[in-house]
Every structure is written in C-alpha cells, then in structure tokens.
Amino acid sequence: MPGNPLPDAESLLASLTDRMRSAVGPATGLVGIHTGGVWLAERLHAALGLKLPLGTLDVSFYRDDFSRKGLRRNVKSSDIPFDVDGCDVVIVDDVLHTGRTIRAALNELFDYGRPGRIRLAALVDRGGRELPIAADFTGAEIEASAGETIELTRDAAGRLALQLTRN
C-alpha cells in the first residue's frame, strides 16, 4: 500500500509507554487481548518493568456477536497467571472502536476474580463507540469511517505497524 495514511505504530507505542509509566506500579497486572493487544502488552510489560506475570485474554467466549457470527476459528486460551482479586489491572488492546471487545474482556476478567481497579490502554482510539467505555491511556486518536478496518500487524522481526483496509 503506497503511503500508509496511518501513524507509525512503534512511535505510538513509545508515547503510550511514556503515558503509562507514572500510572503503574509493582502491583499492576497487565492483561493483553488477543491478538494485537497481547503483542502490545508484551512490549509494555518489558518496557515498564512490571513484576506480575503478563495475562492474556481471548474474549471469543464472551463476545456478543456469537449468535450471528458463530465461534471464531483459532480461539486462543485465556491465561491470567496472577491473582485477580483486589488487583490493579490494566487491559491492553490495539484498536478501541465500538467498545464491545472491552465489554467482553471486563466480563471475562470478573470470572477470574474481583479486581481492585481496571483501567484500559489502547494504541489507537478510532472513535465509533457503542458502549459507555473510554480508554485511560491511548497512543493516538484517529478518525476512521465505519467501512474501514484498522488492524495491528507484526512482522517477523517483531515490528508493529497499523494497517487500514476498506471493505
């Protein structure tokens, strides 16, 4: 695609990391949402030097479009390797759009326990919310129309990039 109209994901991640640095501590638990959110969370976890092991969520079992779309193939396992009860949790996702994925993630997280606080970090907030959900940390806000999809990709070297497709 000639001339990617979207900002560079690596620099967005750098600024997201900066914004989060003062807001997290040793007791913060990071949880990435599959798949892009997990890539980001891995990088954030290392960059922020967090102590609790990284958690991952695949919200397929909690999605509200199951009855219309069915179960996705290649469902990944969710894994929260720390005690959620009372924990200060930050959920990490790549693109915040309708808010439905985050709703599903919140529900799933509560099935692991009762967190003390949950905050949300997203690399990109593209607007278009359908639920009362907002991010606590974002890399950038991008205007995108309903027919467009913004996706995070990762190449073999581990470099992150944003990709725009129109249907």
Partner 1 sequence: MWLDSANPQLNKNGELHHLLSLEGLPAGILRQILDTAESFVGVTQREVKKVPLLRGKAVFNLFFEPSTRTRTTFEIAAKRLSADVINLAINVSSQSKGETVLDTVANLSAMQADMFIVRHAASGAPYLIAKHVAPDIHVVNAGDGRHAHPTQGLLDMYTIRHYKGDFTKLRVAIVGDILHSRVARSQIHALSTLGCPEIRVIGPKTLLPAHVNRLGVQVHGDMRQGLKDVDVVMMLRLQNERMNGALLPSAQEFYKYYGLTEDKLALAKPDAIVLHPGPMNRGVEIDSSVADGRQSVILPQVTFGIAIRMAVMSILAGN
Which residues in this chain contact partner 1 in the complex, by CB under 8 A?
58, 60-62, 66-67, 69-71, 73-79, 84, 107-108, 110-113
Of residues 85 and 130, the one with the C-beta less far from partner 1: 85
Strands (E), the chain: 28-33, 55-57, 88-96, 117-125, 137-141, 148-154, 160-166
Of residues 74 and 145, the one with the C-beta less far from partner 1: 74
Least CB distance to partner 1 at residue 55 (A)? 12
Of residues 75 and 134, the one with the C-beta less far from partner 1: 75
Burial of 158 (0-12, 13-18, 19+ CB in 10 A): exposed
Written as six digits, the tokens of 69 are 């779309």
Of residues 73 and 166, the one with the C-beta less far from partner 1: 73
Least CB distance to partner 1 at residue 73 (A)? 6
Least CB distance to partner 1 at residue 61 (A)? 4
Q: State the Cα–Cα distance between residues 16 and 79, nearest whole angstrom.
A: 24
- How many CA atoms does the CB half-sphere of 154 hold within 13 Å? 13
Assign 119 to helix, strand or coil.
strand
